[in-house]
Amino acid sequence: MFWDRSGKQKGGAGPSGEATEPTFYSLQDAPGDRWAARLEQIDRYLGANKPPESKPDAPQSDQPQKKRSRWWWISRGFATFFGLFVLTVLWLAITAPLSKSLQPIAPPEVTLLAADGTPIARNGAIVDKPVRVSKLPPHVVHAFIAIEDRRFYHHWGVDPRGIARAAWSDLTTGRTQGGSTITQQLAKFTFLSPKQTLGRKAREALIAFWLEAWLTKDEILERYLSNAYFGDNTYGLRAASLHYFYRQPEKLTPGQAAMLAGLLQAPSRYAPTDNFKLARQRMRTVLSAEVAAGYMTAAQARRTPTPQLDVRPNNDLPTGTYFADWALPQARQLSDVGYSRQTLRTTLDSRLQGIARRVIERAPLGGAQVALVAMRSNGEVVAMVGGKDYEKSPFNRATQAQRQPGSTFKLFVYLAAFEKGMTPDSTIDNSQFQQGSYRPKNASGSYSDRITLEDAFARSSNVAAVRLLQTVGDDAVIAEAKKLGVDSPLAHGDPSLALGTSTMTLLELTSAYAGVAANKFPVEPRAFPAEEEGWFDWLFAERHRLSGTEHDEIEQLLARTVSEGTARAARLPVPSFGKTGTTQDNRDALFVGYAGDLVVGVWMGNDDNTPLKGAHGGGVPAQIWHDFMVQALKLAPAPRPVRPSPSPNPEGPVQPQDVPDLRDIPLGDGDTNLQIHDDGATITTQINGVPVTLGIDRNGVRVQPTGKLPTPSPTPPPTFDQVIRPDRVPARNTGPQPER
């Protein structure tokens, strides 16, 4: 028997005999207690919000469904929105970093200097230091705000009024009017592509909200004015102010500020240097916008005069050269990202570049093209010629043309053989053979039963090279080429690989020979001085070396090729090493070699890959290499300067490196050249096949051979340096001399 808190009996049989639900109470609770009544009310209140308990044996479908309140849906929607917002912020932080808005949208001007400080090229947009809104006159800020975004200081990145106004104008007048705010424009040209899509517009709006949350209004305006395009390859208000009016933006007049603000809608169309009439009309439109915005009165706008341009002539126009075109991408990676102009010193040697150009000018090329690369053994390129005439064809045949290297590729075949244990005295079959439909032939037409590797390399035997490839395996040869820095694809399973049928660039091939010269490879060709390797770089850098024996053996073959083999035209009075190359039907002719610390590759061929009549690597390419090396290594006497040359001015005019000059005058059949200098002249000719240089200056006449005799000789030919002193020359006039 139980009682509830009101004193009524429960839990037993009622008057009708039916059982009642028992209720349990604490022993301290007395029936009828007022606290018990309050607890009863709380129980009833809580019980009204609790779903009734389902019976264990009741079907699941009969259970009542929980009704979700309106607040449940609101809380879940807010959580979803907050999650999407966080994901969006993270996405923007990754794809559109805020620091990017600090950078100029176009790379600033870069000036490249030769190693001696001579300017050789300039390239890039005209960019100057960013502006500060606090330092600009109010009329400058008002001009841009009035014409671009009148409600700039009142919206949160996106202006609904501006969008509605633009849509209404498009519907009623048919003229498209921009509704983007200054913040949206900054987001567009800093972070996004100009492609007009709904997705891009959505991202633009999100980034605009993001910029407004992180930056002040003045910071947004400063970044906008410092990055906007003003025409004439000019970016930023400061650069535009100096370009059009030759004054700092802090000193712009109201008319000048209005004209510059008017350029932003269509910079190329309204540029005053190209269409001053349109620029003047656009300036008046800006002044009218300032009147409508309340920044000036109509009378002040009418009294504002049209500004006069002050565009200072710039003689230092950007110039292109083969070397500069190759070096500029590297310069962009090296230069600091910012608004300041960059001046970078390259590895190009002005003297060597001039020698390369003059040697190529007087070479008997006919209608063929030519390329030359000269580098140090560490990969620093000191001279580069990518064709006969840059203005007619800027295509760089030294760095861009993929051509067959011919027999110069045999370097890798013989290196692989030496790694397998063979030596220069090892012999190989030099007789004719045929493998399937492939039948290699020697260019000389001569064959033999056996030939040493040294003789086969010097005579450039094709059948011996193919047999050697089959002996060592093409995998070993390809691995050797890759170790030396050849990145171009090389054919597997093709016996003609030994003869250089896989294509590569001249720069790539020359770098491989530089690795042999330095006996440290791969060598990376570079346009800027190499940084000194730290111990960490030295420890983890992937470097390969030939053993001392292997290096001596390959140099023995390269030297024999120059002294007695196919490259006799390249012989020098100093140790020199190299290899000729001629492709099928004489389509390419090459010579790559090194002497001293210079590694030089020369290529000759037609752009359309048509055959060259009678051309071969031991002909014109070897002669170009020889003539370049003679002057580059100063193996011929050079006149001493009368007075020291002034130091180059990096800010001075650019000195084109690929433009011919008139100092070299060919004489006779072209084998004799007259070089005129400031203090004398030099005549280069050949006597009985021996190159001879005759120098005339204030100290007299100097005569010296510039090369060895064309026939092999165990001893070097005699050389002499005869100087004819002025006091030994008979006087032409013995009469009285005028006073000095």
Residues marked as catalytic: 148, 407
Q: Could you tell me if 546 and 415 are in contact, meaning their C-beta atoms sit under 8 angstroms apart?
A: yes
For residue 274, CA distances in Å to 264, 269, 299, 519, 730 come to: 15, 8, 29, 57, 67
Q: Could you tell me if 23 and 40 are in contact, meaning their C-beta atoms sit under 8 angstroms apart?
A: no
664-667 and 381-385 beta bridge pairing:
unpaired
CA nearest neighbour of 681 among 648, 638, 739, 644: 638
> In the structure encoding, which two tokens stand for residue 632, read together?
């580059």
Cα–Cα distance between 18 and 14 in angstroms, integer?
5
Cα–Cα distance between 279 and 370 in angstroms, integer?
48
Cα–Cα distance between 235 and 267 in angstroms, integer?
10
Cα–Cα distance between 494 and 490 in angstroms, integer?
9
Helix crossing, 474-483 with 462-472: angle to 10°? 100
Cα–Cα distance between 602 and 389 in angstroms, integer?
16
CA dihedral sign, ordered 99, 103, 106, 108 = negative
Q: How long a stretch of residues is the chain?
A: 740
CA nearest neighbour of 394 among 664, 665, 600, 123: 123
Non-local (6+) Cβ contacts of 74 within 8 A are none
Cα–Cα distance between 605 and 368 in angstroms, integer?
5
Residue given tokens 């990754």 in the structure block: 94
> In the structure encoding, which two tokens stand for residue 689, read together?
């096949």
Contacts 24+ apart (CB under 8 A), 444-453: 451/427, 452/424, 452/425, 452/426, 452/427, 453/414, 453/417, 453/422, 453/423, 453/424, 453/425, 453/426, 453/427, 453/428, 453/557
Q: How far apart are the two ends of the chain, measured CA to CA in Å?
A: 150
Cα–Cα distance between 678 and 644 in angstroms, integer?
12
Q: Alpha helices of 362-498 — where are they, by DSSP H?
A: 410-419, 453-458, 462-472, 474-483
Residue 405 backbone phi and psi in degrees, to 5: -80, -10
> In the structure encoding, which two tokens stand for residue 429, read together?
């079959």
Residue given tokens 């001053």 in the structure block: 276
For residue 625, CA distances in Å to 122, 590, 619 come to: 30, 10, 10
Non-local (6+) Cβ contacts of 11 within 8 A are 1, 2, 19, 20, 21, 22, 23
CA nearest neighbour of 471 among 436, 426, 511, 518: 426
Residue given tokens 């013995």 in the structure block: 734
Cα–Cα distance between 44 and 702 in angstroms, integer?
124
Residue 672 backbone phi and psi in degrees, to 5: -115, 130
> In the structure encoding, which two tokens stand for residue 16, read together?
């009708």
Cα–Cα distance between 181 and 159 in angstroms, integer?
7
CA nearest neighbour of 579 among 365, 352, 409, 388: 409
| DSSP track, 499-549 | GT-S-B-HHHHHHHHHHHHHT-BPPPPBSSPPPPPPHHHHHHS--B---HH
Residue 697 backbone phi and psi in degrees, to 5: -150, -165
